[in-house]
A and B are shown apart, each in its own frame.
Chain A
Amino acid sequence: MSDSNSVKKSHIRKILIIGITLLIVCAGAAWYIFTNSFSDTSREKADYTFNALDLIKEFQQDDKASNKKYAEQIITVNGSVTEIEQADTTVNIKMADTSTGSYIIFAFQQQDVVNAKKIKQGDSISIKGSCSGGVYSDILSTEFITFKRCSINQ
């Protein structure tokens, strides 16, 4: 009788330990997921590297296929700055295909805004960021491709 009680208590203890361990692991995972933030893009490895005009061309040819391939990927884009545009408290940098008006526009992560503001029109630069994809603008009659969380490659 006392043996079977001991066995029962031992079972209950094991179930409690497993249960509490699972609870801690799940709570930890949930805490990680909810408090996680994107890391500094400058430290991320680029999935692709492009010349700006080549990337624009690819999106112009088939933006649906390009979106599937490149959206949310970290891409380094090299090219010449065609325009700098004020965007609320920060600046955006554009690299355009001047023959069609299609362009790539880069919005910067907070830690790169100071460097972005130093860039001038005509500068040849390299920018790394998360590609958000491209769509055709009915307003501008051009393709535009946007990037977020960008950093300037030094």
Chain B
Amino acid sequence: MKKTTLIIALGMMTGAAFAQKKTTTSAAVNFDATTSLDALPKAENKTVVAAIDTKAGTVAFEAVVKSFSFGNPMMQEHFNGPKWMDSEKFPKASFKGNITNLPAVNFATDGNYKASIEGDLTLHGVTKPVKTTAVITVNGGAVTAKSDFTINAADYGLSDSGGKVAKEPKISVVAELK
């Protein structure tokens, strides 16, 4: 009886460690639209919600736009203003996608894996397809995903402010999911 209980308990613990859906409410997303003319448009959001389904290979992110924190008050205002993210109208940015080479990522074995991600990014009320790669690190049931990509600001109706802001801002994502 004791042996059976122990086996069941171990099985449940293993199951929990390799739970299919892993989430975090503290993913970090960096936004960098700096140019040689302006070093100010750079911000970080450290309270992004992220989820990964290791069986289905789906990934999702949600960010409160006003949570992108700039050092400069004027830049904070411009970023959220009606000529840019218009965050009063569009308070949330989101991504929904899939790992397209799922068999290449072994979530059951510790290691580093290169994942191809495709999905839809919604910014400023506009949804566009995005393709990128990510490095997925599996360590004792926890999954860390890191990805860097650029977006075309004009695709999302975002102005380049006369060349002062990068036409293709860089986005960097780090998420530690459990």
Contact = CB atoms under 8 A, between A and B. Distances in A.
A138 B73 CA distance: 30
A132 B67 contact: yes
A133 B64 contact: yes
Contact of A36 (B49, B74, B87, B174): B74
B27 to A, nearest CB: 8
A72 interface: yes
Nearest to B75: A34
A146 B64 contact: yes
A108 to B, nearest CB: 9
B145 interface: no
Contacts of A36: 72-74
Most buried by B among A134, A135, A140: A135
A142 to B, nearest CB: 9
Interface in A89-110: 90, 92, 94, 103, 105, 107
Nearest to A134: B64
B51 interface: yes
A71 B26 contact: no
Interface residues of A, number: 32
A67 B80 CA distance: 13
A85 B176 CA distance: 10
B46 interface: yes
Nearest to B92: A135
A1 interface: no
Given A85-B26, A149-B69, A107 B92 contact: no
Given A134-B64, A135-B62, A137-B49, A94 B69 contact: no
B73 A146 contact: no
Contact of B47 (A68, A72, A87): A87
Given A36-B73, A37-B71, A137 B47 contact: no
Most buried by B among A107, A132, A137: A132
Rank and list the top 4 A-B pairs by shortest CB-CB distance, nearest first.
Answer: A87-B26, A132-B66, A132-B67, A85-B26
Given A105-B26, A133-B64, 5 more contacts: A36-B73, A38-B76, A133-B66, A144-B64, A148-B67
